[in-house]
Amino acid sequence: MKILLMSGSFHSESKSIAILNAVKTYAPEHEYIFPWLDKFPFYCEDLSAKKPNEILELINTVKTCDGIIICTPEYNHSVPAVLKNAIDWLSRPAFNSVLKAKPITIITQASSPVGGARAQAHIKLILDSTLSTIYPCHEMMISGIDNILDNSRKIVDRKIESKLKMHLLGFFEFIG
Ligand SMILES: Cc1cc2nc3c(=O)[nH]c(=O)nc-3n(C[C@H](O)[C@H](O)[C@H](O)COP(=O)(O)O)c2cc1C
| CATH number, residue 168 | 3.40.50.360
Give the residue numbers spanning the domain of 103: 2-175
Confidence of residue 142 (pLDDT cuts 50, 70, 90): very high
Our count of domains for the chain comes to: 1
Residue 64: phi, psi to the nearest 5?
A: -100, -5
- Position in ligand 1 atom list of the atom nearest CA 72: 26
Ligand 1 centroid vs 50 CA: distance in angstroms?
34
- The 10s digit of each residue's pLDDT in 69-122 is 999 999 999 999 999 999 999 999 999 999 999 999 999 999 999 999 999 999
Residue 142 CA to residue 155 CA, distance in Å, equals: 11
The pLDDT value recorded for residue 122 is: 98
The pLDDT value recorded for residue 144 is: 96
Ligand 1 centroid vs 142 CA: distance in angstroms?
12
Q: How far is CA 2 from the centre of its chain?
A: 14
The pLDDT value recorded for residue 174 is: 98
Residue 140 CA to residue 106 CA, distance in Å, equals: 7
Q: Would the CB of 82 count as within 6 Å of ligand 1?
A: no
- The 10s digit of each residue's pLDDT in 12-51 is 999 999 999 999 999 999 999 999 999 999 999 999 999 9
